[in-house]
Amino acid sequence: MSQIVLGVSGGIASYKAAELLRLFTEAGHSVRVVPTRSSLHFVGAATWEALSGQPAQTEVFEHVDEVAHVRIGQQADLVLVVPATANLLAKAAAGIADDLLTTTLLTARCPVMFAPAMHTEMWEHEATTDNVRILRERGATVIEPAVGRLTGVDSGKGRLPDPVHLFEAALRLLEPQRAGDMVGMRVVVSAGGTREYLDPVRFLGNKSSGLQGYALAEAAAARGAEVTLVAANVALPDPADVDVVPVVSTQDLREAVLKAAADADAVVMAAAPADFRPAEFVDAKIKKTHDGSAPSILLVENPDILAELVSNRPVAERRPVIVGFAAETGDATGSVIDHARAKLQRKGCDLLVVNDVSAGQVFGSPDNQAVILSSDGSAQEVALGPKIDLAHTIWDVVVQRSDS
């Protein structure tokens, strides 16, 4: 659990800070809101106190005995200012300390992030540009405002980015050891479920949503890696800074993955490729027989891409690190982990991320729980949590392996 200070300055977007606060408290962090006097015109102290469960003070001279202006900054793991007005950025750049938020900014020694929101003219004014540059030079993170609808009917650059986006950016600052640790790495991630067409309209497919693969791609890109995401039939927006290669069948997936893997440092096969495909594809839609009979579909085996990646890598080579996924259920012949260990050995990959799907969870869910088995015999359990957390833990293990 981290101690977060959420500074709120006087902009209309301050209502969105309430959503950000909720994301932090739900993730188990402690949040102290420090609103500026003018921000209370938009959202009152009662809202902040109720949502955070802590006092929301604006002035240095309230509760003087607590020396809040020094203590709050010193104890913080992260200070965020959401939204940051042009006035607040100017005060922070000049070191002015005339209320609790600006004094806290001077006493904080932790990462500081500003999320500006203002009209385009104010954002583009030289005074603001200079202040942003000064703050960045001093090591603060200043998030670029989004482009879109501003207060009233006008639109342009200056909009506060989505609270989820700010939450993710803030989490990265809380885990500085991960920031940029994948710069210079090239990674390939496969995601989604392949489709094997019988005729122009029908296919054999599976339930894979692609969420875990997309989380892996997003996490690697956020840590500075160059990412190719081979996506099989996924209905999700492209992650930022990721090269997305759409594919349909297992054979397409194989071709795209092997091509991208040729020069990669790591390949993660999070996709669910169909193991079989119809022996033949019928060009015209298969018709009903009208005599009560049903057609038989002869299947042939698809290539095993993971096994091929392993066999393409010279025996003594450690690059690329090859990671497989396995959705397993326990049965009379062994537990989930027994089956997974046998699969890791059979496939010959370096890591196998094992999901227990006995209870039918995982598919399409935003959360995941897994065990990461390593070919050196070690196992790391990852508790149930957002798929992005599992993604980061997988990359932690991959990065460690690449460094050793």
Active site residues: 206
Which residue type occupies 172?
A: R
> Which residue among 47, 128, 250, 355 contacts ligand CTP (CB under 6 A)?
250
- Strand ranges, E, within 176-320: 186-192, 196-197, 203-204, 226-232, 242-247, 266-269, 276-278, 299-301
In whole angstroms, give the CA distance from residue 74 to residue 3.
10
- Paired tokens of 201: 């309209």
Q: CB within 8 A of 298, min separation 6: which ones?
A: 278, 279, 280
Nearer to ligand CTP, 187 or 326 (CB): 326
Residues in the chain: 404
Question: Is 245 in contact with 256 (CB distance < 8 Å)?
Answer: yes
The answer to whether residue 275 forms part of the interface with ligand CTP (CB under 6 A) is yes
> Which residue among 304, 310, 341, 375 contacts ligand CTP (CB under 6 A)?
304
The answer to whether residue 273 forms part of the interface with ligand CTP (CB under 6 A) is yes
Q: For the CB of residue 269, give the shortest distance to ligand CTP in the complex, in Å.
A: 3
Nearer to ligand CTP, 142 or 271 (CB): 271
Nearer to ligand CTP, 85 or 302 (CB): 302
Question: Is 143 in contact with 167 (CB distance < 8 Å)?
Answer: no
Residue 371, φ and ψ in degrees, nearest 5: -120, 130
- Paired tokens of 256: 């795209």
> Which residue among 102, 209, 302, 393 contacts ligand CTP (CB under 6 A)?
302
Nearer to ligand CTP, 47 or 212 (CB): 212
Q: For the CB of residue 346, give the shortest distance to ligand CTP in the complex, in Å.
A: 7
Handedness of CA 27, 32, 38, 41 (dihedral sign): positive
Nearer to ligand CTP, 10 or 192 (CB): 192
Q: For the CB of residue 271, give the shortest distance to ligand CTP in the complex, in Å.
A: 5
Torsion angle in degrees (nearest 10) through CA of 118, 79, 366, 240:
50
Using the contact rule CB under 6 A, the part of the chain among 14-22, 204-212, 235-243, 300-308 near ligand CTP is 300-308
> Which residue among 306, 321, 336, 370 contacts ligand CTP (CB under 6 A)?
306
Which residue type occupies 311?
A: S
Q: What is the DSSP string of 59-86?
A: -TTSSGGGTHHHHHHHH-SEEEEEEE-H
Q: Long-range contacts for 312-320 (Cβ within 8 Å, ≥24 apart)?
A: 312/258, 312/261, 318/401, 318/402, 319/265, 319/402, 320/188, 320/261, 320/264, 320/265, 320/266, 320/267
Q: For the CB of residue 398, give the shortest distance to ligand CTP in the complex, in Å.
A: 14
Which residue type occupies 100?
A: L
Nearer to ligand CTP, 149 or 259 (CB): 259
Q: For the CB of residue 389, give the shortest distance to ligand CTP in the complex, in Å.
A: 20
> Which residue among 13, 110, 187, 269 contacts ligand CTP (CB under 6 A)?
269
Residue 16, φ and ψ in degrees, nearest 5: -70, -20
Apex 259 CA angle, 254 and 189, nearest 5: 70
Nearer to ligand CTP, 38 or 251 (CB): 251
Q: For the CB of residue 189, give the shortest distance to ligand CTP in the complex, in Å.
A: 11
Binding mask 46-85 for ligand CTP (x = CB under 6 A): ----------------------------------------
Q: For the CB of residue 185, give the shortest distance to ligand CTP in the complex, in Å.
A: 20
The answer to whether residue 271 forms part of the interface with ligand CTP (CB under 6 A) is yes
Nearer to ligand CTP, 210 or 324 (CB): 324
> Which residue among 17, 20, 247, 305 contacts ligand CTP (CB under 6 A)?
305
In whole angstroms, give the CA distance from residue 111 to residue 183.
21
350-389 residues in contact with ligand CTP (CB under 6 A) are: none
In whole angstroms, give the CA distance from residue 222 to residue 120.
27
Binding mask 312-331 for ligand CTP (x = CB under 6 A): ------------xxx-----
Q: What is the DSSP letter of 142?
A: E
Q: For the CB of residue 238, give the shortest distance to ligand CTP in the complex, in Å.
A: 21
The answer to whether residue 19 forms part of the interface with ligand CTP (CB under 6 A) is no
Residues within the interface to ligand CTP (CB under 6 A): 250, 269, 271, 273, 275, 302, 304-306, 324-326
